[in-house]
Chains A and B, each alone.
Chain A
Amino acid sequence: MPRECLAELSGVSKRFGKTVALDKLDLKVRSGELFAVLGPNGAGKTTAISLLLGLLKPDAGSVRLFGQSPQLLAPRRLIGVMMQEVFLAPELRVREQIDLVASYYPAPLSPAAVMEMTHTASLAERPYGKLSGGQKRQAQFAMAICGRPKLLFLDEPTVGLDVQARQMMWATLRQLINQGCSIVLTTHYLEEAEALADRVAVLANGRLLASGTVSDMRALVVRKRIRCSTTLAVEEVSTWPGVENASRDQHGLHITAIDADAVVRRLMAADENLQELEVRSAGLAEAFAELTKEATK
């Protein structure tokens, strides 16, 4: 049975003045998954999230949250939110902030339970304004999950966290997924997407460049990058089987190969004086950089 679609942007366009923030974007968030939205600054990630949260209205296309308009209160009672660059009331203590957000939901967790889950119990009685940047993010995370959301939106949740706090947040996210919560995460940290995401979407210039599972993304870059110093002609190498692309610059010949092993064997056979051979495989970071570079050309 296909998984339910919890949130959906279909054919959504959004402009701010002359800037096109989103251009006919389609995105689907399915139940039980952690969906990571990646992209450089200005790619449209935050705009996409803001539309799904009902904070913005699309110029074209439709936005659904649990099959309804996100402007309505009912579907939003099923979500939790952690946004970027939010200044919360500095006078309120962490426990009070959680208590306040919990009051918006039909059946929230108790502040004590939330703080235990998010390892923020030690911050409970501290005024929010006196917290460090990382502690503020942890408090915001606690606020995001206090309503037992079915779908959690996290916009760059781990910015400013130290390694330990980040690991703890990841562990809590995995725990939430195991309990049936779905998560939409935007992040700059690719290792975060690699570590957590079931599915990834890469945005650039308001368009969807690629989406799929993390292994789909990796498959996009099973292609290896070969560089070498050789007298072989670009035209010749580019006709070889297994070679997707070849080019030359001052650093030598660059080959993008689907079957790197075969290409390397043939290179060595064809040019006895071949030097500086280098073969690299790319991670998600490289796939992402490649994809966005292509798109922003």
Chain B
Amino acid sequence: MNATALQFDSELTRSTAMPASRVLRAYLTEAKYESVRMLRTPAFAIPFLGLPVMLFLLIGVVLFGDAIRNDPNASKFVFAAFAVLGVMGPGMFGFGMALAIEREQGLLKLKRAFPMPPPAYLVAKMLMAMLFGVIVMITMIAAALTAGNLPLTPGQSLKVTVICVLGTLPFSAIGMLIGSLASGRSSIAYVNVIYQVMMHLSGLFYPLPKFLQTIAPVWPTHHLQQLVLSATGAPSRGSATIHVAVLAAMTLLFTLFAVRRLARVG
């Protein structure tokens, strides 16, 4: 190694060392502004924050409130359906569409040229989806306890919130994979198709015919729904451990594919 290289090495370590606290700050700042951006985008914030609770109030209270009033399991089923719906959107759309568009527009490239810690961009989007999940769950639980006649204990409320907020992760991972593969325009179509298919074919809103019931476990929505039902004390299918394992595996697998793809093609 020559003198110049040595000089650089010592200078580099001196002036580029970044304490862990500042690295953490970089992650948090990225997440903060990602969330601020999305909250300032009405086309994103209004449907994903407002729609689940409005639909829950419409279906679970206004239209069928009388029918399910005396059947706690029915009202828990409706609650679980809209809670899952509520946490699907921010990750899938926030990641899927935004990532595809930002890749195309060169934002991701600029961030990679800057010394942004490489995972910060993806972690920020995941945290944004989780924050949206928190807001969705707070409004959903508030609506359920007040208007929805849903007998949730504080412990159950907390458990459901934790499940749903962590439950944004597999949907973020699906969005990330779509966003890493598709162009900005086509990502909108892909995300929508997968969103609709998962919503309807996993039995979120209505009992499925036998054939579809057997393939429902391929959808993350099915597993999350069972976890939410179980946390509210309603009857659920399958083992919680398996549901958690499947959701965690899906998150890891899709994230891994997406990260590899992004590292290769940007």
CB distance B36 to A92 under 8 Å? yes
B4: A residues at CB distance < 8 A: 4-5, 67
| A67, B10: Cα distance in complex, Å | 11
| A74, B13: Cα distance in complex, Å | 8
| A9, B33: Cα distance in complex, Å | 35
Give how many A residues have a beta carbon under 8 Å from the other chain's beta carbons: 36
| A66, B117: Cα distance in complex, Å | 18
Within 8 A of A (CB), among B77-111: 102, 105-107, 109-110
Q: Which residue of B lies closest to A101 (CB)?
A: B114
CB distance B109 to A83 under 8 Å? yes
Known contacts A66-B8, A68-B8, A89-B37; is-contact A75 B16 (Cβ 8 Å): yes
CB distance A89 to B33 under 8 Å? yes
Known contacts A55-B112, A74-B12; is-contact A87 B17 (Cβ 8 Å): no
CB distance B12 to A66 under 8 Å? yes
| A66, B16: Cα distance in complex, Å | 11
Contact of A87 among B13, B41, B106 (CB under 8 A): B106
B41: A residues at CB distance < 8 A: 91
Is A48 interfacial (CB 8 A cutoff)?
A: no
| A31, B36: Cα distance in complex, Å | 39
Q: Which residue of B lies closest to A108 (CB)?
A: B22
| A96, B29: Cα distance in complex, Å | 10
Q: Which residue of B lies closest to A53 (CB)?
A: B113
Is B25 interfacial (CB 8 A cutoff)?
A: yes
Contact of A104 among B11, B102, B114, B266 (CB under 8 A): B114
Q: Which residue of B lies closest to A5 (CB)?
A: B4
In terms of DSSP, what is the predominant structure of the interface of chain B? Answer: helix
CB distance B116 to A104 under 8 Å? yes
CB distance B113 to A96 under 8 Å? no
Known contacts A83-B106, A83-B109, A103-B30; is-contact A147 B115 (Cβ 8 Å): yes
Contact of B16 among A4, A88, A100, A106 (CB under 8 A): A106
B113: A residues at CB distance < 8 A: 53-55, 76, 81, 83, 153
B1-20 to A contact mask, C-beta < 8 Å, 1/0: 00011011101110111110
| A105, B115: Cα distance in complex, Å | 7
B22: A residues at CB distance < 8 A: 103, 106
Is A210 interfacial (CB 8 A cutoff)?
A: no
Contacts beyond the supplied A83-B110, A106-B18: 10 A-B pairs with Cβ under 8 Å: A67-B8, A67-B12, A86-B109, A87-B105, A87-B107, A89-B33, A92-B37, A104-B115, A104-B116, A104-B117
Top 8 A-B residue pairs of the complex, sorted by shortest distance between their CB atoms: A67-B8, A87-B105, A103-B29, A77-B16, A76-B115, A91-B40, A53-B113, A74-B16
Residues of A that sit less than 8 Å from B by CB: 4-5, 53-55, 66-68, 73-79, 81, 83, 85-89, 91-92, 96, 99-101, 103-107, 147, 150, 153
